[in-house]
Structure 1
Amino acid sequence: MLLSDLLPATIAWQPAERDVVLLAGTREDLPVIETVLATLPAKARGRVFVEVETDAEVGELAAPGRVCVTWLVRQRGQELRRSVDAWVSEMLPVSFDREHRLYAWIAGSGTAHALTSD
């Protein structure tokens, strides 16, 4: 079975081997997030943000060891967009010596794509 058989065509998940990955969505996006996580290599690095309404909706996601999963609870004032923006600004610093790169899929933004510090 191919990844394209499991994911909507609009995601087009194709990160480069060295890309840091970012997945962000709500509880409704968990099937896509779980499928992508299942296809990541063991040495993948990155972050997953999942926004839910209450603590009762927080669950477990299987992810490679260097991919951190963060559950954001709206009842506590935690927001997906604010968390993603803060993380991206930290991961893509302006640097003169090298380019920083990450590969992201954020629910509602359409296809997955690379983001760079250039």
Structure 2
Amino acid sequence: MTTSEMSATHGSGGPAAVEHSAAACRSQRHTRVQHLIAADEHSLVDLATLLATLPLCSTGRVFVEVPDSRWIDALPVPPRMVVTWLDRSSRSGEAGTGRACPSGAALTRAVTAWADEMLCAEGDETRIELLGGYVGTADIADHLTERLGIDPARIHTPERFRLFDAR
């Protein structure tokens, strides 16, 4: 299936399909699904695979935490999506500690801050893909479910983490 043929229920497994042709995506009435995607240097292959499956009309944010600026590269995302690279080497750990930014901390701070601002509308249907390391992914998932009340079924994490076994 090509990107232009994908349904609006991409990733949700839902039964209702909506045409995803170039003409449908240009329509003002076409529903554009927002995405929140978080990744790190260990999940770049999974991130590239996910991005390749998104419809051209997708909107949202992609946050990628990396050890330093040498990892930063262009990512092929739909035109209505924004990529934010989080370079750990240029960030600090917790305020006042003087420590370096640990793995997952920059991603957690950025994603939870964005979610607090952007996922506040009742009935929000943002698709959430957390591909980063375990600690950052678990912290983000906890924030989304406990503080923002997002249904864990809407949050997709690597199966190996077993964050939502009850699903």
TM-score category (smaller protein): 0.7 to 0.9
TM-score, normalization: structure 2? 0.53
Distance 1:26 1:37, change over 3 A: same
Distance across 2 between alignment mates of 1:18 and 1:91: 15
Contact 2:32 2:57 survives alignment (8 Å): no
Q: Choose which of 108, 114, 130 in structure 2 pairs with 1:81.
A: 108
Distance 1:113 1:42, change over 3 A: farther
Which structure's residues are more often helix, by fraction?
A: 2
> What is residue 37 of structure 2 aligned with on the other side?
23
Contact 1:52 1:73 survives alignment (8 Å): yes
Unaligned 5+ segments in structure 2 are: 2-9, 15-30, 93-105, 139-151, 156-167
> What is residue 4 of structure 1 aligned with on the other side?
none
Shift of 1:92: 1.1
Which 10-residue stretch deviates more, 56-65 or 74-83? 74-83
Shift of 1:101: 2.4
Shift of 1:114: 2.1
Which structure's residues are more often strand, by fraction?
A: 1
SS of match in other structure, 1:56: helix
TM-score, normalization: structure 1? 0.73
Unaligned 5+ segments in structure 1 are: 2-12
Summarize deviations over 1:59-97 as a string: whole Å, max 9, x none. Answer: 11000001111110001117000000011111112x4xx
Summarize deviations over 1:32-69 as a string: whole Å, max 9, x none. Answer: 11111111111001111110111111111000001111
Q: Choose which of 127, 133, 143 in structure 2 pairs with 1:103.
A: 127
> What is residue 21 of structure 2 aligned with on the other side?
none
Q: Percent identity?
A: 34
Distance across 2 between alignment mates of 1:25 and 1:100: 22
Distance 1:68 1:26, change over 3 A: same
RMSD: 2.7
Distance across 2 between alignment mates of 1:113 and 1:104: 10
> For residue 74 of structure 2, what is the amino acid of its counterpart?
E
Distance across 1 between alignment mates of 2:68 and 2:85: 10
Q: Choose which of 56, 67, 71 in structure 2 pairs with 1:57.
A: 71
> For residue 108 of structure 2, what is the amino acid of its counterpart?
R
| Bigger RCO (CA 8 Å, 6+ sep) | 1
Shift of 1:113: 4.7
